[in-house]
């Protein structure tokens, strides 16, 4: 079964750091671009960051640029999001998402909630 | 950044009716457009990519059309399980922006 299983969310104080992880299975991980997308509960979807197979094409939303770092370990079939200097506005449900060959987002993780609060 | 604008924000319809959801892009591109369905408590699900190609397992009552700046998702005969929030997304370039969503609710 093709799936993405996420871990690493939780309650964190403003200004602190948190790392999200996403474990892939059921497909050849290093064949695909992978993204992080977030969603404030009850609101819309916001693309956060994406990374190609060899990490030489990486992009971030302006809202997280300079604070978040995306990375991947193809040997471990895993994607990561290092989130530093967290703010209240970063509080959201974060999804790990696989891109298909055409660029659409075909496989979504279950989501992990990040709560930023003192 | 390409801004995606969906309309209407909320669409009220009855089972069996036809629903038409719209998505407009702030700049033109060919067919790098996807539609997603999201139900409460669930991750989004890919319905349509390439503006008109149904994803695996998506029923034929879902269809997509359009190119350039105007795109449409049509649900030919609404089933009870179709009432959800729908998002369009452009993947022509990065950032791969989403529309704000259309909530399809039961009338």
| CA–CA gap between residue B78 and residue B18 (Å, rounded) | 6
For the beta carbon of residue A11, count every other beta carbon within 10 angstroms. Answer: 12
Model confidence at B102: pLDDT above 90:
yes
Which pLDDT does position A80 carry in this prediction?
98
Rounded CA-CA distance B74/B60 in Å is: 10
pLDDT above 90 for B103? yes
Interface contact flag, A104 B97, Cβ < 8 Å: no
CA–CA separation, B107 vs A80, rounded Å? 42
| Interface touch B101/A44, C-beta < 8 Å | yes
Given a cut of 90, is residue B60 above it in pLDDT?
yes
Res A42: pLDDT: 94
> B69, exposed or middle or buried, with CB in 10 Å at 0-12, 13-18, 19+?
middle
Q: Which residues of chain A have pLDDT under 70?
A: none
B87 in contact with A at a CB cutoff of 8 Å? Answer: yes
Alpha-carbon gap: B77 to the closest alpha carbon of chain A (Å): 24
Chain B residues within 8 A of A45 when measuring between CB atoms: 36, 38, 44, 87, 89, 98, 101
Q: Is the pLDDT of residue B20 over 90?
A: yes
pLDDT at position B56 is 96
- Phi, psi for residue B15 in degrees, rounded to 5: -55, 140
**B14-26 CB burial, b ≥16 within 10 A, e <16:** eeeeebebbbbbe
Q: Quick check: B83 pLDDT over 90? A: yes
Does B30 have pLDDT greater than 90? no
% of chain A exceeding 70 in pLDDT: 100
> Between the CA of residue A113 and those of A6, A94, A117, B7, what are the distances in Å?
10, 6, 13, 29
Residue B26, CA distances (Å) to A45, A52, B31 in order: 18, 26, 14
Q: What local confidence, expressed as pLDDT, does residue B38 receive?
A: 98
Q: What does the mean pLDDT of chain B come to?
A: 97
Sort out which chain B residues have CB atoms less than 8 A from A27's CB and list them.
Answer: none
Q: Is there a cis peptide before residue B21, judged by omega within 30 degrees of 0?
A: no
CA distance B3 to A106: 21
pLDDT of residue A95: 98
CB B71 within 8 A of CB B65: yes
């Amino acid at each position: 079964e093709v799936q993405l299983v996420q871990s690493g969310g939780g309650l964190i104080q403003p200004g602190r750091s948190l790392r999200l992880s996403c474990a892939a299975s059921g497909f050849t991980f290093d064949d695909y671009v992978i993204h992080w997308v977030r969603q404030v509960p009850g609101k819309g979807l916001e693309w956060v960051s994406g990374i190609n197979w060899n990490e030489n094409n990486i992009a971030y939303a302006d809202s997280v640029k300079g604070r978040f770092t995306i990375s991947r370990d193809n040997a471990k079939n895993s994607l990561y999001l290092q989130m530093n200097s967290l703010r209240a506005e970063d509080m959201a449900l974060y999804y790990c998402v696989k891109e298909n060959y055409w660029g659409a987002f075909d496989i979504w993780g279950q989501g992990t909630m990040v709560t930023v609060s003192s | 950044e390409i801004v995606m604008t969906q309309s209407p924000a909320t669409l009220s319809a009855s089972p069996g009716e036809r629903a038409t959801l719209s998505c407009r892009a702030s700049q033109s591109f060919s067919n790098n457009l996807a539609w997603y369905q999201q139900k409460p408590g669930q991750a989004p699900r890919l319905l349509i990519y390439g503006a008109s190609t149904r994803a695996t397992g998506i029923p034929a009552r879902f269809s997509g059309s359009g190119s350039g700046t105007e795109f449409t998702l049509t649900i030919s005969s609404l089933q009870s399980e179709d009432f959800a929030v729908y998002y369009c997304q452009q993947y022509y370039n990065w950032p791969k922006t989403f529309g704000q969503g259309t909530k399809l609710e039961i009338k």
